[in-house]
Amino acid sequence: MARFIAKLKSEIGESPYELRYRGRQTSEPVLMRVIDYNKNSLKEATLKEFVEINGYKNTETVTWLNVDGLNDSDLVKQIGEVFKLDRMILSDVMNVSSRAKVQEYEECLYASVKMIQLNEDTKEINIENLSLVILNRLLISFQERKGDVFEPVRERIRKQKPKIISSKTDYLAFALLDVVIDNYIYILSVLGEQIENLEDELIEDPSRDMLERISDLKREISFMRRNIGPAREMILAMGKIDSEFIDDDNTSVHWRELQDNITLAIETVDGYRDMLTDMMNIYHTTVSTKLNDVMKFLTVFSVVFIPITFIAGIYGTNFEYIPELRYENGYFVMWGVILLVAGGMITYFKMKKWF
């Protein structure tokens, strides 16, 4: 499936309210995890039955429901019914190829962003869609598959860090988005190290495989920019939105910090993209210079041997009456003339700085 955009022919003309997972299908069961907390209590559980969700419907604590897996459209529909979510929200959750955005509804605030992770073993960059549904006391996060980058946030809750346990769901949403953006910057730093090392190699000794490596890195940087750009627009919109689900007094400074971080990511990806473009130009220039040096050497070599070939051609003819053939030292005289002509031409070329 294409990394930049994915659209199946069967989806053309489909209703925007259709609840159908548009990502990569999997047979793994959906995993629902809950963390329910406030200053005085903490409860963490993995829900085995859907009906257990009802216990977190109208609590005075802050509840974070994390749904791993979107292949069960009936489950997503049931979640929407329990928490009275607009059908369009559920459709956006299932449409994982949609652009990052934020949208306010009467019952909640909806935001989506691309979550990018780096596989430390294979060095492969993986992407999935993250959807956040923010209510007053409940935050629902939808992910495409198991495994995420949010364990540091869970640890902060488990350790009862004052800021997060005393804040509402808007700060929890900020914490999740902050981790997502930090991962952007981390992945860019890994790619940046590869780019800088490759730049050093390019200056010292450009090899034939460098063009392929530069192209691979440029494709990854373009992929990162393709997803970070819309995320920046979404973060800027979140900082400006006037919603009852965002407490401006307590979280405005954090949204500004988030905006600074996403701007740093954009500036970094643009800088690395320019570096790769310059590296590709340097590579082509270096290869062209080397080719010119080779052609210059071959040209000088050919020009030097033209008069030598001429002399050898004359004295290699089979005519009997060539005056110099009777000279006792004619052979050595011919070699002397050849060396004198070749040396003179090489000296002349050096004086002209032609090579």
Average pLDDT, rounded, for the chain: 85
Two tokens at 282?
A: 């340097």
Question: What is d(CA 269, CA 189) in angstroms, rounded to the nearest whole number?
Answer: 10
C-alpha R_g of the chain = 35
Domain boundaries, the chain: 14-285, 295-351
Nearest Cα to Cα of residue 117 among 166, 41, 180, 62: 180
What is the tens place of the pLDDT at every residue in 8-37?
A: 555 555 555 666 666 676 777 889 999 999
CA distances from 22 to 25, 26, 277 (A): 8, 12, 34
Two tokens at 78?
A: 């049931």
What CATH fold (topology level) applies to the domain 295-351?
Answer: Methane Monooxygenase Hydroxylase; Chain G, domain 1 (1.20.58)
pLDDT attached to residue 36: 92
pLDDT attached to residue 23: 65
pLDDT attached to residue 1: 45
What CATH fold (topology level) applies to the domain 14-285?
Answer: Beta Polymerase; domain 2 (3.30.460)
Question: What is d(CA 267, CA 1) in angstroms, rounded to the nearest whole number?
Answer: 29
The 3-state secondary structure of 257-297 reads HHHHHHHHHHHHHHHHHHHHHHHHHHHHHHHHHHHHHHHHH
The answer to whether 33 touches 66, Cβ cutoff 8 Å, is yes
CA distances from 5 to 8, 83, 191, 192 (A): 10, 31, 22, 25
What is the tens place of the pLDDT at every residue in 244-294?
A: 888 766 777 888 899 999 999 999 999 999 999 998 888 888 878 777 877
What pairs with residue 35 in β-bridges?
Answer: 44, 64
Strands 62-68 and 138-143 come out as parallel
Q: How confident is the model at residue 325 (pLDDT cuts 50, 70, 90)?
A: low
The answer to whether 114 touches 253, Cβ cutoff 8 Å, is no
What is the crossing angle of helices 169-204 and 248-315, to 10°?
Answer: 20
Sign of the dihedral through C-alpha 343, 344, 349, 353: positive
What pairs with residue 114 in β-bridges?
Answer: 129
The beta strand positions in the chain, using DSSP E, are 31-37, 42-47, 62-68, 101-104, 109-118, 125-134, 138-143
What is the tens place of the pLDDT at every residue in 339-355?
A: 888 888 888 777 877 66
Question: What is d(CA 166, CA 44) in angstroms, rounded to the nearest whole number?
Answer: 17
Q: Estimate the share of the chain in helix, then strand, then coil, as percent rounded to the nearest 5.
A: 55, 15, 30
Q: Produce one character per residue of 1-31: b if its CB has 16 or more CB atoms within 10 Å, e if not.
A: eeeeeeeeeeeeeeeeeebebbbeeeeeebe
pLDDT attached to residue 7: 57
Two tokens at 213?
A: 């490596």
Q: Average pLDDT in the 210-223 region?
A: 90
Question: What is d(CA 146, CA 13) in angstroms, rounded to the nearest whole number?
Answer: 31
What pairs with residue 324 in β-bridges?
Answer: none
The answer to whether 99 touches 228, Cβ cutoff 8 Å, is no
CA distances from 190 to 203, 261, 272 (A): 21, 17, 12
pLDDT attached to residue 10: 55
